Structure 1
């Protein structure tokens, strides 16, 4: 065991957590190789029914948690994190017990941890070389799938989001409420940590897929369905809460004037890109998609690679005090286009609930939204070109 490495682990109050379930062929080798670097090890036996319990009796000097029945990898990790934090550890490196990870990569995590900013927490994920011939095709596809949704949900692009070889900041995790208990937990934890301001980054690690020894408990249909449901929920939360929250925090921190100058006028985006972003926000802000304007504006901004902040800002053109005027204008445009006349009580929009009135309102709303978007897009493009900062091309 390297005394220097053990000292570094102790100085960062870092331990190694090994969750295991029916990996009798590889567990002992993983523990022995990890012991070459540290004794700060916590093994979580997730209800194994093979020889795991017998093997662990040989390591009575290590801290161990035993589940009476199999609860899932998420539960094993969550209980391991809680126990480690109670033991005074501030960081935990997780290593899978199927033999695919190399304990000699532990220093890679510690080196990166030593470079972190003083007030910035890190969550590190070991990035595997997924182009190796030994890597199963389903693992490579699943990783790309996971990487894409993590980018949508956090705005951070990573090379590998599925590796179980990670370093977690325990103090931050202790403040987050988690709901998942199976493999999908490893997605939930990195997304929610990113939402908390934790920097989620990759570090390079080696990987070994030995199909003669490795036992995978991933159930393609059940677990992929769980992951898909989780990502659907996380995307909804991202666009309906996280993005608006971050926008309002930025607006409050900078102030309206500085925000408009820094994020709109002096944005590094081209004048055309900013103008189209404004037009997109205005279109959804005036469209009949009540409650979804911000969600749609940000979603299409990502899809079209526009400025998400600007689009979201202008999607809020339908502020509550202005809603009756927006609805009235939409109805009048609809009446003109369809040649129909409906009674409109300015004090209430209950009439809009009638089927015939809905048609008039929707048609008028979409036309008004489209016209306003084009008009404000052209005006904003002219203004951006007139007031373009001198240092911008």
Structure 2
């Protein structure tokens, strides 16, 4: 199974406090995994020591963007690398320690078994220990119902950044990917193209270092902008 190439993409913007611990855990998992896992950090124009920390791990691939593109641009960079290097599976994994490396097999195995094209790690499909802010929980529920209204498929955790895709969607994302806050947007984009999306229960922790850039004002702006984008994707034909 080692030839089944898997790339873990870690987008990072000013994550010097937490990315070292995250990479330690991912490297340990990759060494003991049957899947042939590589780890790629996309440094999204960080102004702190994120690059220095990543470079202390010689087995980690570093893609160093000259300036900040946002999560969408960082992830598309990673997906393009995965596409150009013929990876079969790509995984989005946060640098801040929120995602659980022990859940990687949970989101890899259904893709390897051809049960789905995308797996979303969900905090809510089953009860977990996750506790988020009321504003964040409101946003999650809001997008859950909006996407259900448009797709008739229930996504319990549409803003989750812990997800895995197969090589068909890698090709899609290498050429087209939303720029800002893409997690809810890509669900309707992929659903519209007929790909199969599943959710699997995973554990997530609170951020292990640094601070979130999402303020209440940014959250409201984000919800409005993503709502309009989702609605446009629904009505516009490819």
Q: So what's the TM-score if we normalise by structure 2?
A: 0.86
Q: 1:73 to 1:133 in 2, by over 3 A?
A: closer
Alignment partner of 2:108: what SS? helix
Say whether the 8 Å CA contact 1:173–1:193 is kept in structure 2: no
Report what 2:92 is aligned to: 94
Asked if 1:16 corresponds to 2:8, the answer is yes
Q: Tell me which of 191, 206, 215 is aligned to 2:211.
A: 215
Unaligned runs of 5+ in 2: 31-36
Distance, in Å, in 1 between the alignment partners of 2:180 and 2:233 is 20
Deviation of 1:54 (Å): 1.3
Say whether the 8 Å CA contact 2:111–2:166 is kept in structure 1: no
Higher strand share: 2
**Cα distance per residue 1:304-345 (max 9 Å; x no partner):** xxxxxxxxxxxxxxxxxxxxxxxxxxxxxxxxxxxxxxxxxx
Deviation of 1:49 (Å): 0.9
**Cα distance per residue 1:344-364 (max 9 Å; x no partner):** xxxxxxxxxxxxxxxxxxxxx
Distance, in Å, in 2 between the alignment partners of 1:20 and 1:50 is 11
The number of residues matched between the two structures is 229
Q: Tell me which of 147, 154, 164 is aligned to 1:167.
A: 164
How is 1:61-140 mapped onto 2 (pairs within 5 angstroms)?
Answer: 61-117=59-115, 121-129=116-124, 132=129, 134-140=131-137
Give RMSD over aligned pairs.
2.3
Higher helix share: 1
Alignment partner of 2:72: what SS? helix
Say whether the 8 Å CA contact 2:188–2:233 is kept in structure 1: no
Q: Looking at CA atoms only, which structure, 1 or 2, has the larger radius of gyration?
A: 1
Distance, in Å, in 1 between the alignment partners of 2:58 and 2:110 is 32
Distance, in Å, in 2 between the alignment partners of 1:65 and 1:162 is 24
Say whether the 8 Å CA contact 1:98–1:215 is kept in structure 2: no
Q: 1:133 to 1:93 in 2, by over 3 A?
A: closer
Say whether the 8 Å CA contact 2:9–2:90 is kept in structure 1: yes
Structure possessing the higher relative contact order (Cα contacts under 8 Å, 6 or more residues apart): 2
Alignment partner of 1:18: what SS? strand
Distance, in Å, in 1 between the alignment partners of 2:235 and 2:107 is 32
Q: So what's the TM-score if we normalise by structure 1?
A: 0.54
Report what 1:189 is aligned to: 186
Distance, in Å, in 1 between the alignment partners of 2:29 and 2:138 is 33
